[in-house]
Amino acid sequence: MLSVIKSIALQGLNGILVNIEVDISSGLPSWDIIGLPDVSVKESKERVRTAIKNLGINLLSRKYVINLSPANVKKIGSVFDLAMAIGILQASSEINEDLKLDDTIFIGELSLDGEVEGVNGVLPMCIEALKFGIKRVIVPKKNLVEASCVEGLKVIGVSSLKETMDYLNGKIEITQEKFDSKKIFGVNEKYNIDFSEVKGQKATKRALEIAVARKS
């Protein structure tokens, strides 16, 4: 069976929507990740396979092919772990095969015991996700606050692969937490130090003076 799960990659601050296509077929047992993955992405097959095993799920000895599309963009980091695991579980019928996830992206690294670890770059990923029409993003709980700062997205924080699986299968509910972005990014207009106390750093001070002058 073929399953397609979405995630997102960053090139600088620009997002690239990544389709993670998982195909499971008969043949010589193997795990292949294709689509220009770097070393950290190739290593994810061991994290994903072990995390699924530690859920108590015994995957059949089959040929597993995981394609990260578009294939001409280099995939870097461990942010695709959760998406790959969900793709394998759906292709293995452990997650509802009819579940539509076209407007959902998954971000997160997996530990061997199935915990979902925080990753870097979640805020710009969520900002970029809106440009692709994404409505929901499932992120590690450690990244929940920064992801929730992006208006227009339904943000779900998960702590484990098991929790994510149960949520998608409708066994549990996870409410979306709301955060006040003004409090998180509040501006303090009163400081205990004066600009004159900064010694040296002439170029930096000059840049700040120009920035303030333009703002005013």
State residue 32's pLDDT score.
Answer: 94
Is it the case that residue 216 has pLDDT exceeding 60? no
State residue 180's pLDDT score.
Answer: 66
Per the structure block, which two tokens stand in for 70?
């578009």
Per the structure block, which two tokens stand in for 25?
């077929």
State residue 181's pLDDT score.
Answer: 63
Q: Tell me how many helices (H) and strands (E) the chain has.
A: 7, 9
Residue of 63, 62, 114, 58 lying closest to 85 (CA atoms):
114
In a domain, 185, yes or no: no
Q: Half-sphere exposure of 202 toward its Cβ, with a 13 Å CA cutoff?
A: 0
Mean pLDDT, to the nearest integer, of 125-149?
94
pLDDT band at 212 (very low <50, low <70, confident <90, very high): confident
Torsion angle in degrees (nearest 10) through CA of 130, 72, 116, 144: -20
In a domain, 97, yes or no: yes
State residue 190's pLDDT score.
Answer: 65
Distance of CA 115 to the CA centre of its chain: 14
State residue 191's pLDDT score.
Answer: 64
Mean pLDDT, to the nearest integer, of 148-164?
94
Is it the case that residue 42 has pLDDT exceeding 60? yes
Q: How many structural domains comprise the chain?
A: 1
State residue 199's pLDDT score.
Answer: 76
In a domain, 184, yes or no: no
Assess contact for 200 and 164: CB atoms under 8 A.
no
In a domain, 141, yes or no: yes
pLDDT more than 90, % of the chain: 71
Residue type, 73: V
In a domain, 43, yes or no: yes
State residue 184's pLDDT score.
Answer: 62
State residue 91's pLDDT score.
Answer: 94
In a domain, 206, yes or no: no
In a domain, 138, yes or no: yes
State residue 175's pLDDT score.
Answer: 86
pLDDT band at 12 (very low <50, low <70, confident <90, very high): confident
As a whole number of angstroms, the longest Cα–Cα distance in the chain is 72
pLDDT more than 70, % of the chain: 93
In a domain, 20, yes or no: yes
Provide the domain limits for residue 96. Answer: 2-179
Q: pLDDT (tens digit, 9 = 90+) per residue, 45-55?
A: 999 999 999 99
Q: pLDDT (tens digit, 9 = 90+) per residue, 13-34?
A: 899 999 999 999 998 889 999 9
State residue 79's pLDDT score.
Answer: 96
CATH number at residue 86: 3.30.230.10
Rounded Cα distance between 51 and 159, Å, is 13
pLDDT band at 189 (very low <50, low <70, confident <90, very high): low
